[in-house]
Homo-oligomer: A and B are copies of this chain.
Amino acid sequence: MAKQNTVFKDAFNRCLKLLAETSSLPSEPELGTALGVSRTTVRAILTRMEELQLLAWDKRAKVVLRQPKPEDYYPAEETDSLSDIIERSFMRRILAGGAEPGMQINELELARDIGTGTTSVREFLIRFSRFGLIEKRPNSHWILKGFTREFALELTEVREMFELRSAASFAALAPDHPAWADLDRIETLHHEILADIDNRYKEFSELDERFHLLVHTSSSNRFIVDFYDIITIVFHYHYQWNKTNARERNARALEEHLDYIAALRSRDPARIETACRRHLKSARETLLQSIQ
């Protein structure tokens, strides 16, 4: 099959939720904007809803006939884009399955393993190569450089340089800059999670990403912001497969964040640098610990 209709299926599922909340759906362009898809896909969704007797559709009239049932939804496995599937599958192989540095990566084998064409695997590897974990031998295989101690040290070195600079420029943002409001919301969430840490410590990972991305974004430098993608992917997969002491680690990091946030709000460069350094140091230690 040439292309999976995952965009359609995913948008259809999201549209079912919209449908559950009203008695009639809006115009096609409006739905397209709401779902982030083209009118072509919107019309495919409406057609399908008509088939399922969910909707009476005649030109502008889109009357909801009944509430969606669980079986109306497409299963979650079918809504993942191919590149997500490849990414997960690849990360599992190299992070979870003890892959040795120096190992060869074979496009064809990977594609057969995942059950997909070589083109998609190849494109994934090219995109992924910017993370510095693999390297291409032209006309030949890829080499896995490995999630090693050196990798973590190099990554955190750059991260610290970038974040210190971003934090400094955060303090220089105008008082009415929207980032301050974002910071407020993030701080509130920190307090909420800390108050119920035993049950909610798992929410830290996502909040951590949101906070640091906000700081990096204030650098207004695309290279700094883009670099944060590497941090994100490393920490994302890393947290998934290393859950020792997660509760304590996350509680400590949340406290450090609060200190860091207070420093940002003080706009005092020295205080910001101290708080930022302290947090980055412990983040680095956490990462290094889990590697060996």
| A interface residues (Cβ-Cβ under 8 A, vs B) | 7, 119, 122-123, 126-127, 130, 132, 139, 145, 151, 154-155, 157-158, 161-162, 165, 220-224, 226-227, 230
B132 and A130 form a contact (CB under 8 A): no
With contacts A123-B123, A123-B126, A126-B127 taken as known, whether A223 is within 8 angstroms of B132 at the C-beta atoms is yes
Extra contacts besides A7-B139, A123-B123, A154-B220 (12): CB < 8 Å:
A119-B119, A123-B126, A126-B127, A132-B223, A154-B222, A154-B223, A154-B224, A155-B223, A157-B223, A158-B223, A161-B161, A161-B165
Q: Most chain-B Cβ atoms within 10 A of its Cβ — which of A122, A127, A165?
A: A127
Copies of this chain held together in the complex: 2
- Picked from B119, B132, B220, the residue with its CB within 8 Å of the CB of A222 is B132
- Residues from chain B with Cβ under 8 Å of A161 in the complex: 161-162, 165
Give 26 A-B contacts (CB < 8 Å), ordered by A residue: A7-B139, A119-B119, A122-B123, A123-B123, A123-B126, A126-B126, A126-B127, A130-B130, A132-B223, A132-B226, A145-B222, A151-B222, A154-B220, A154-B222, A154-B223, A155-B223, A157-B221, A157-B223, A158-B221, A158-B223, A158-B224, A161-B161, A161-B162, A161-B165, A223-B227, A223-B230
Question: In the bound complex, what is the Cα–Cα distance between A263 and B123 (angstroms)?
Answer: 44
Question: In the bound complex, what is the Cα–Cα distance between A172 and B253 (angstroms)?
Answer: 34
